[in-house]
Amino acid sequence: MSVARRLRIAGAQMGPTQRADPRAHTLGRMIALLERAAGAGAKLVVFPELAFTTFFPRWLIEDPADLLACFETAMPNPGVQPLFDRARALGVGFCAGYAELTPAGQRFNAAILVAPDGAVLGRYRKVHLPGTIAPRSGARFQQLEKRYFAYGDQGFPAFRAPAALGGAITGMLICNDRRWPEAWRVLGLQGVELVCIGYNSAAYDPNGGQSEDAALRVFHSQLVVQANAYMNATWAIAVAKAGIEDGSGLIGGSCIVDPHGRIVAEAATLEDEVILADCDLDQCRQGKTKMFDFAAHRRPSQYGPITERAGVIEPQGPD
């Protein structure tokens, strides 16, 4: 049976989710976005990182019960089941970020990929955790991902989606991962055709500098998605949680990018918004078989430092 390789995908950008918002309210927004996307013919809908909650790593949460309330102990679970049910009824797949608490008590910043028939195709645990373990004194907003989450421990798996999703070889990245070409390349080495990304990115320099504003941070976000999509000959969709969340600004700039690195759809607001594109997965083919024919052109013997060490070793001077 031949598989239709042309697939309409949707990004479900979300406006802010305040810490006080009830889960049912947030889930209702997500279902409304899902329905809007499905009504427009989308077969796959991508939601942001930590889609079910506010971006809670901005807060130092000292009460363990308050922290655990942000996490999902299973996926699906009763608090998200209506989204899974509605997606299955509509026959659309989806990808969504969530905070994962394992039975062993490990916490991950995770994402899940669900097929149109409700089957869980795969899960990804964020590898590139930004921020710090200890809160920064005097900072109005923290970035405590390194405190609340363990580093993803299963690499960057790609999953072959079913025929209803064009058989797309699909990967997931979460927020900061998109700035790391290693993450994209490990997906590229699995022949990835669609990379689904959710993010919560501050609209100011989250590291305390004064040199980055919202426009520059949207530029950075789109630049890395565009270039890494091109260099791996894949479609990519990057979806924001945007707007003023708990008093802290988040960029929008959600976009869908083709295997040439061109933006083909882009969000115009900082609110709940659906973006759509028809993605011909076979457009990945030229890049994968010519310019980026990895087997023909990559030279792993020259890449040793990439896996041998994490940090910088500067060269000696000429004097």
User: Do the Cβ atoms of 110 and 123 come closer than 8 Å?
Assistant: yes
From CA 270, how far away is CA 143, in angstroms rounded? 21
Based on the shown chain and the rule CB under 8 A, indicate whether residue 262 belongs to the binding site for a copy of itself: yes
User: Distance from first CA to last CA of the chain, Å, rounded?
Assistant: 67
Known catalytic residue: 175? yes
Paired tokens of 220: 């950075």
With binding defined as CB under 8 A, does residue 135 bind a copy of itself? Answer: no
Catalytic residue among 43, 126, 241, 288: 126
Cα 185 to Cα 168: distance, rounded to the nearest angstrom: 17
| The one among 128, 241, 248, 281 contacting a copy of itself by CB under 8 A | 128
Q: Is there binding between residue 180 and a copy of itself (CB under 8 A)?
A: yes
- Contacts with a copy of itself in 2-31 (CB under 8 A)? none
Interface stretch with a copy of itself, choices 39-47, 70-78, 79-87, 297-305 (CB under 8 A): 297-305
Residue 231 as a binder of a copy of itself (CB under 8 A): the answer is yes
The region of 41-49, 51-59, 98-106, 155-163 touching a copy of itself under the rule CB under 8 A is 155-163
Residue 94: its H or E element: strand 93-101
Q: Is 49 a catalytic residue?
A: yes
184 binding a copy of itself? (CB under 8 A): yes
Binding track over 68-97 against a copy of itself, x by CB under 8 A = ------------------------------
Clarify whether 241 is annotated catalytic. Answer: no
Least distance to a copy of itself from the beta carbon of 109, Å? 13
* Cα distance between residue 297 and residue 282, in whole Å: 21
Note whether 158 and 70 are within 8 A (CB). no
How, if at all, do strands 194-199 and 169-174 pair?
A: parallel
Let me know: does 110 contact 90? Beta carbons within 8 Å: no
The catalytic residues are: 49, 126, 175
